[in-house]
Structure 1
Amino acid sequence: MTMAVTLYRVAAFPVAGNGGNEAGVVLDADTLTDKEMLSIAKRVNYSETAFVMNSERADYRLRFFTPTVEVPLCGHATIATFNLMRNLELIKSDDLRIETGEGVLNVRILEEQVELQLSVPQFGTPIDPQEVADVLDLDKARLLNYPIQTVSTGIPEIFVGVDSSDTLAKLAPDAERIVTFCRKHGAVGIYVFTLDTRTERADAQGRNFIPLVGIYEESATGTASGALASYLYTQGLLRKNQYYFEQGYALFKPSCIHVTIQTDQEHVTDVHVGGRMRFIDRIVGFTPEK
């Protein structure tokens, strides 16, 4: 018999109480099997669902499932989970350690948001711009004259700069071509960004295509935002310590992601992504079966 759970549906990184990226959260998942967690995530049908468990290595263990596969880390689901736990008064400390598929990471509970420490960025070799333009069905002239490469702060994604918000908005790449391209280059998805932002506060806006894990496009991606800040700093496009990124507008889910980095002048040595949460609902007795 499949165990029924209490499912919370929340969204991380909302703008003015709207938008954000939805996540399912199950707070007491120790007795669930891998098959049950995947089935629950499939029925929830958000980009990721987080399952909270006890840990012998940290304060909590989190596992993350898309509708099709388990992934080692999910930034927006982590931000959503710990905003939720704070609101439910389940957290006894403002500084936590969480066990994930990417190792043990730090979570900081602030007054207005939650911050997640990401892994130190890893950079891949440059990719041929024409190959990327073909995959995106885009005129090569629209690409920024900066390296296109894989960057990972937990989840590897390929970062591609384009010239304008209009170019970004018009993208409609083929999912199968993205999957083939990402497999070839060892990445989960393609994150396309522009420095032409919708608001004065933002430093860049992006769109994240990740059909390889069953999601055509994601409305707010914490790990990719940390990698984008690392890319912008390392490539010299925008050197600062705090970044604000827009995402999700093409999906009518406006999102704002805050990233803080530390550096030794030339290299990024520490990355934190932060944001708020929008509560959607709570479902008692949720099971994989409809």
Structure 2
Amino acid sequence: MTSLPFYQIDAFASRTFEGNQACVMPMDSFLPDETLQAIAAENNVAETAFIVQTGEGVWDLRWFTPTVEVPLCGHATLASAHALFSHLGYDGEEVAFDTRQSGQLTVKRTPDGRYEMDFPAPEIRKMDVTEDVAAALGAWPLEAWGGPFYAAVFADPEDIVSMQADIDLIGKLGVMKDVNRGNLGVLAAGGDGVDVTSRFFAPASGIPEDPATGSWHCMVAAIMGPRLKRAFDCYQAYPGRGAKIGVELVGDRVKLRGDAVTVIEGKFSL
């Protein structure tokens, strides 16, 4: 029987039961894809991150939901850096992660003890608001944007917090051009002590609603950064958990900042 190191971490969280759960599993080399997918399904959290060291301060990184491999995952990247800094003896200033579809991503510690991730800013474009989207969300947005996901902008943060989205309908929205509308985010300016309030629904990736989503906040940065023209704080209002995410659009890059807490440390047996 083979045993692999295993860390379950709440990312974008300052304490247990906040943010988003990620499992981080360091390996000497990646196991076959079907094995990685089976492990992620067994872990049954939003993402499992697999990391393989390739050089000094450099790791290959892959992310799997319980059903698919994804091109970018912010909270599991933050969790991977937390595992390296807090449990695996890494004492460098910055961690570099090489990924298959999102290039090299870096994570460093900030003076206030949080982690800062450097991600590419996505290209976005205005899109039409359609009746099927409004039906799935139970409300008609002010505007919509396309990019890695479909984004619906509302007038009031309370519209986001109280939203009763129809997950089955969101999952059936399908694809329009290159926008995967089965993964859909909603946002509004303002909120309780924050600049932006959002939520993210991802049934197309096997996640009805995600508690904290770094890749989604890259798109939030692209939408709200030009309007606010400064770093800003976001609250992802997942019912019962919630996540605080610092966001800053810097040219064609996005800085995401947050905390992380280890919940479980152990071994995964194969």
**Larger strand fraction of residues:** 2
Q: How far apart, CA to CA, are the structure 1 residues paired with 2:110 and 2:183?
A: 30
- 1:282 maps to 2:265: yes
Number of paired residues? 266
Unmatched runs of 5 consecutive residues or more in structure 2: none
Matching residue of 1:257 = 245
Give the deviation of 1:117 after TM superposition.
1.2
Task: Compute the displacement of 1:192 (Å).
Answer: 0.7
SS of the aligned residue for 1:197 comes to: coil
- Report if aligned partners of 1:58, 1:99 keep a CA contact under 8 Å in 2: no
Q: Which residue does 1:123 correspond to in 2?
A: 124
How far 1:283 moved relative to its partner?
2.2
Matches of 1:56 and 1:247 in 2, distance apart? Answer: 35
- Relative to the length of structure 2, the TM-score reads 0.89
TM-align CA RMSD: 2.2
Match among 188, 191, 208 for residue 200 of structure 2: 208
1:56-105, Cα deviation, whole Å (9 max, x unpaired): 79811000000001112210000011012111253242123211121122
The TM-score with structure 1 as length reference comes to 0.84
Listed one character per residue, the Cα deviations across residues 174-207 of structure 1 (whole Å, up to 9, x for unaligned) are 2232123242352261111122412x2x111111
AA aligned to 2:124 is F
1:245 matched to 2:234? The reply is: yes
Provide the rounded CA distance (Å) in 1 between the counterparts of 2:237 and 2:216.
Answer: 13
Distance 1:260 1:233 in 2: 7
Q: Residue 227 of structure 1: SS of its match in structure 2?
A: helix
- Structure 1 unaligned runs (5+)? 264-268
Q: What is the letter of the counterpart of residue 115 of structure 2?
A: V
Distance 1:93 1:57, change over 3 A: closer
- 1:83-94 alignment to 2 at 5 Å? 83-94=82-93
Cα distance change of structure 1 residues 76 and 31 upon mapping to structure 2, 3 Å threshold: closer
Aligned to 1:48: 47
225-234 or 45-54, which deviates more? 225-234
Q: % of aligned pairs identical?
A: 25
Tell me the residue number matched to 1:266.
none
1:19 is paired with a residue whose SS is: coil
Choose from 184, 191, 201 the match for 1:197: 191
Quote the residue 1:136 is aligned against: 137
